[in-house]
Structure 1
Amino acid sequence: MATISLRLSNEEEVLIKNYVKINKMNLSEFIRDTILDKIEDDLKIDEERILKSLEESKKGKVYTTSEVWEMLGLNE
């Protein structure tokens, strides 16, 4: 099992330890769960963004390479 260190101000340390104590939680579990929840939330947002982009791309016009070259004035 790995260990990760982080730096906190004294105030941050007190706040976190008090929160964990009041809520009858384990400090390591609280920090681990909080970090993993953040990652899961970010991944969900990315997945939603990808699916939205995919749906939007289906609505748009598709151009051939020749059409793009012509629009750019690069056809010879």
Structure 2
Amino acid sequence: MSTVSLRLNDRDDALIRKYAEIHNMDLSSFIRQAVLEKIEDEYDLTLFDKVWEQEKDEERISHEQVKRELGL
């Protein structure tokens, strides 16, 4: 397991520590979770953009049209 140092001003340090405390998390777990969620969000957006570009010119139909076609 590795260790990462993070430099924060006093205000940011207090904010992050208080947020983690409010959510019953230790500081290390909170920071780890926040960083991993940021990476996942960016990956999801990149994947969405890629799929959107690939499929942007394909024909789309509405939910109402699907319901009509299925007799619902």
Shift of 1:57: 6.2
Shift of 1:58: 6.2
AA aligned opposite 1:12 = D
Distance in structure 1 (CA, Å) of the matches to 2:33 and 2:2 = 15
Moved over 6 A (4+): none
RMSD value over aligned CA atoms? 1.7
- Which residue of the partner structure matches residue 38 of structure 1? 38
Say which SS state the counterpart of residue 13 (structure 2) adopts.
helix
- Which residue of the partner structure matches residue 14 of structure 1? 14
Segments of 5+ residues of structure 1 without an aligned counterpart are 60-76
Quick check: which has more Rg, 1 or 2?
1
Please give the TM-score of this superposition, normalised by the length of structure 2.
0.72
Please give the TM-score of this superposition, normalised by the length of structure 1.
0.69
Segments of 5+ residues of structure 2 without an aligned counterpart are 60-72
Distance in structure 2 (CA, Å) of the matches to 1:2 and 1:19 = 24
**Could you tell me the percent identity over the aligned residues?**
37
What is the aligned length?
A: 59
